[in-house]
Chain A
Amino acid sequence: DVKVTQSSRYLVKRTGEKVFLECVQDMDHENMFWYRQDPGLGLRLIYFSYDVKMKEKGDIPEGYSVSREKKERFSLILESASTNQTSMYLCASSQDIDIGPQHFGDGTRLSIL
């Protein structure tokens, strides 16, 4: 079974802090994604990566950056956390960029105080 592991289930940080969310997948998938999930808005794509060191902006990249130094790991970085970034963050991976569905981690619930 594909496993996508997010480093934290719950995280509390302060405004202005630099925050790192880590995601690791164990199936050698080329493609990895970061979404945020908010009530009434569903899931929105922040960034995705289709190869090591490659990244593409999603629908809402402002205030975020990403890092993909190794194939199995995709990090989401909040450069200077703000309260409007309080949300559930979901990482996903997929093998086939064209057809394959994405496998999700359990999510990180991030609170910015």
Chain B
Amino acid sequence: GDSVTQMEGPVTLSEEAFLTINCTYTATGYPSLFWYVQYPGEGLQLLLKATKADDKGSNKGFEATYRKETTSFHLEKGSVQVSDSAVYFCALKRRGSQGNLIFGKGTKLSVKP
């Protein structure tokens, strides 16, 4: 079945460091791919998305490229801030399926000043 695998956390970085959170997926067809962010005590927010191969999603300095050949959608940011501390979830939605997003288990990021 469809699945999403994220790198396990927690990830601890210093402010202004480069961030990569790996995400790979298994799915039939051509799913849409998403990154969500959950700040402490809040619900999930959509961070960025890509709906077809080679699309790059970007938002708030974060970006991720849909790589069909490696079935990956790694999240990157060039210079993290303390305010980026959160849990990040990679997710996929199989085209034509009704409703469900398949989520990774989440990666907790802590950024130290």
Contacts and interface: CB of A to CB of B under 8 A. Distances in A.
Interface of A: 4, 31, 33, 40-45, 48, 50, 56, 58-59, 90, 92, 97-99, 101-107
A29 B67 CA distance: 30
Interface residues of B, number: 22
Contact of B46 (A33, A99, A101): A101
Given A40-B105, A101-B49, A45 B100 contact: yes
Contacts of A48: 98-100
B7 interface: no
Given A43-B89, A98-B96, A106 B42 contact: yes
B81 interface: no
B60 to A, nearest CB: 15
Nearest to B35: A101
Given A42-B104, A42-B105, A106 B43 contact: yes
Given A40-B105, A42-B89, A43-B89, A50 B98 contact: yes
B43 A90 contact: yes
The 9 closest A-B pairs by CB, nearest first: A42-B105, A104-B43, A48-B99, A106-B43, A104-B44, A43-B103, A101-B46, A107-B43, A42-B103
